[in-house]
Amino acid sequence: QKEVEQNSGPLSVPEGAIASLNCTYSDRGSQSFFWYRQYSGKSPELIMFIYSNGDKEDGRFTAQLNKASQYVSLLIRDSQPSDSATYLCASSGNTPLVFGKGTRLSVIA
């Protein structure tokens, strides 16, 4: 059974702080990893993807991948109240995307 695990939260951070979201996956064959943001009542929106070990930065977002530990993370710098949402981690190998349940982030102004 391929699984992606996330802490459901809520994770509360003050405005301007760094939010750190974590995810582990069970399938060692997973090759690509994705972070989606989902606002309440809306559909998932792709933020970043990563497939190589290390860090990948895009604006205020940094994705980190450690395949040996089967661990993916998303850092959000200078968190804003508009970042408050559920963040979904997903993995993919030669299989369809497997999603975690998501971590609810709340950025407090």
Partner 1 sequence: GAGVSQTPSNKVTEKGKYVELRCDPISGHTALYWYRQSLGQGPEFLIYFQGTGAADDSGLPNDRFFAVRPEGSVSTLKIQRTERGDSAVYLCASSHQGAGGYYNEQFFGPGTRLTVL
Residue from 10, 42, 78, 80 touching partner 1 (CB under 8 A): that is 42
When asked if residue 40 is in the footprint of partner 1 (CB under 8 A), the reply is no
Find the binder of partner 1 among 64, 73, 92, 105 (CB under 8 A). 92
| Angle (CA) 51 57 58, round 5° | 110
Q: Which pair of tokens denotes residue 55?
A: 């860090």
Q: Is 71 among the residues that bind partner 1 (CB under 8 A)?
A: no
Report how far residue 57's alpha carbon sits from residue 74's, in angstroms, rounded to the nearest whole number: 10
The answer to whether 84 and 109 have CB atoms below 8 angstroms apart is: no
Under the binding rule (CB under 8 A), the answer on residue 88 touching partner 1 is: yes
Question: What is the distance, to the nearest Å, from the Cα of residue 21 to the centroid of all Cα atoms in its chain?
Answer: 6
Question: How many residues in the shown chain lie near partner 1 by CB under 8 A?
Answer: 25
* Cα 51 versus chain centre, distance: 13
Interface residue with partner 1 among 49, 56, 70, 75 (CB under 8 A) is 49
Q: By the criterion CB under 8 A, which residues form the site for partner 1?
A: 4, 8, 31-32, 34, 36, 42-46, 49, 51, 88, 90, 92, 94-102
